């Protein structure tokens, strides 16, 4: 599976079988994660470095814990606390980490394509932890894992993705992944936050949030990305919440057993009301747990836990 891929840069590049394979490995890792003693020797002797040019709580910490649970040596670098702040460029930084023997570099960057550039210039496997407005593949994998766990299948489900689609790498990765696995995806939100040509990605572009949510099996909210809003694409957060936020009334358009998901962090009272965030059908906390299992699986796969010819050859 995964061919001879050295890196995980996006779900656009993966086949449906690749995705199913990763989700299967994640299921095994979830069993390990749920044990009292989570420490296993899967990654003994391997090292994982997280290189984050943007802030993160979930992704960075879950990769670090995933590595530790599997006995890897883990280290973290942020732009503000490293020589990046002295002006060192991205490739020099990445090559420095590579020359210290990292097996995996997990990186987040504000520029789309930054992990692709690094991947071409280092021996380590590169895992994209979010690049600009392009992709956030590990988030989409944990979202799909959560759907599979709760619904038993993805094929044939309707998944509504609602909110700031324009700036959302989470939406993009989920659209690639979910459509490959046979889900029907609808998107809804302010017209100013909807990229042009979304239809070409195989999704239903809806004129209202209600239409997007109608009869959905899964309602996925997206964070309003205030840090990426250069122009005023909607008047105020209050107005956004009034016209596009999901409250109990709008949630009722979905199927009665619809899952409520959000990648986090949630802007409470904006994308979802607190009642929806904390709803009995909200699995936002479970997504966080599943994020560790999925990242354990990815570290295992990309350090040669399964066939990864380049690293196996060099071992
Ligand atoms: N969902 C997500 O990527 O969260 P963090 O920014 O906290 O990593």
β 158-162/218-221 pair status: parallel
Residue 80's contacts (CB-CB under 8 Å, 6 or more residues apart) are none
In the chain, at which residue ranges do the beta strands (DSSP E only) sit?
47-52, 73-78, 104-109, 125-131, 158-162, 184-188, 204-205, 218-221, 259-261
pLDDT attached to residue 309: 38
CA of 62, closest atom in ligand 1: 8
Residue 220 CB contacts under 8 Å (≥ 6 apart), including other chains: 143, 159, 160, 161, 162, 174, 261, 262, 263
Closest CA to 262 of 295, 291, 284, 289: 284
Name 201's bridge partners.
none
138 C-alpha to ligand 1 centroid (Å) = 10
Least Cα distance to 178 among 201, 211, 195 occurs for 201
Assess contact for 294 and 138: CB atoms under 8 A: yes
Is residue 227 in contact with ligand 1, taking CB distance under 6 Å? no
276 φ, ψ (degrees, to nearest 5): -75, -40
| Ligand 1 contact via 59 beta carbon (within 6 Å) | yes
pLDDT of residue 28: 97
Q: What is the pLDDT of residue 310?
A: 40
Residue from 50, 54, 58, 283 to probe ligand 1 pocket by mutation (most atoms less than 8 Å from CB): 58
- Which stretches in the chain have pLDDT values below 50? 307-315
Q: Of 282, 266, 12, 11, which is closest to residue 163 (Cα–Cα)?
A: 266
CA of 7 from ligand 1 middle (Å) equals 20
Give the per-residue pLDDT at 235: 74
Count Cβ atoms below 10 Å from residue 235 Cβ, excluding itself: 10
Residue nearest atom 4 of ligand 1, based on CA coordinates = 58
Secondary structure class of 161 (helix, strand, coil): strand
The answer to whether the bond into 8 is cis (omega within 30° of 0) is no
Q: Starting at the earlier edge strand, list the strands of the sheet with 104-109.
A: 73-78, 47-52, 104-109, 125-131
The structure tokens listed for 107 are 């990186």
**Smallest Cα–Cα separation from 153: which of 43, 243, 20, 268?**
20
* Ligand 1 pocket member 108 (CB < 6 A): no
Residue 83: the pLDDT is: 93
pLDDT at 245: 95
Residue nearest atom 3 of ligand 1, based on CA coordinates: 59
Q: What pLDDT is stored for residue 231 in this prediction?
A: 63
pTM: 0.94
- Of ligand 1's atoms, which has the minimum distance to the CA of residue 61? 8
């Amino acid at each position: 599976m995964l061919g001879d891929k050295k890196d995980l840069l996006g779900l656009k590049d993966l086949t449906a079988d690749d995705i199913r394979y990763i989700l299967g490995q994640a299921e095994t890792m979830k069993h390990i994660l749920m044990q009292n003693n989570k420490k296993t020797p899967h990654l003994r002797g391997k090292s994982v470095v997280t290189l984050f040019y943007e802030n993160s709580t979930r992704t960075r910490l879950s990769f670090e814990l995933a590595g530790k649970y599997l006995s890897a040596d883990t280290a973290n670098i942020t732009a503000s606390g490293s020589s990046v702040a002295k002006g060192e460029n991205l490739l020099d930084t990445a090559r420095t980490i590579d020359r210290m023997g990292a097996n995996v570099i997990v990186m987040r960057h504000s520029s789309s394509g930054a992990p692709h550039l690094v991947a071409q210039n280092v021996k380590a496997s590169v895992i994209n932890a979010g690049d600009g407005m392009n992709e956030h593949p590990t988030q989409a994998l944990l979202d799909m894992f959560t759907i599979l766990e709760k619904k038993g299948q993805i094929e044939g489900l309707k998944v509504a993705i609602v909110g700031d689609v324009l700036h959302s790498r989470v939406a993009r990765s989920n659209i690639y992944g979910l459509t490959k696995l046979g889900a029907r995806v609808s998107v809804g939100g302010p017209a100013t936050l909807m990229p042009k040509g979304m239809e070409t990605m195989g999704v239903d572009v809806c004129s209202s949030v209600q239409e997007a949510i109608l009869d959905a099996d899964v309602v996925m909210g997206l964070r309003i990305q205030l840090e990426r809003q250069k122009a005023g694409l909607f008047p105020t957060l209050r107005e956004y919440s009034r016209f596009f936020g999901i409250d109990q009334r709008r949630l009722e358009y979905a199927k009665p057993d619809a899952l409520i998901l959000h990648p986090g962090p949630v802007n409470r009272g904006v994308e979802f009301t607190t009642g929806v965030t904390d709803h009995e059908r909200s699995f936002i906390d479970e997504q966080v747990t599943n994020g560790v299992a999925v990242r354990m699986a990815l570290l295992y796969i990309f350090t040669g836990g399964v066939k990864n010819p380049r690293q196996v050859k060099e071992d």
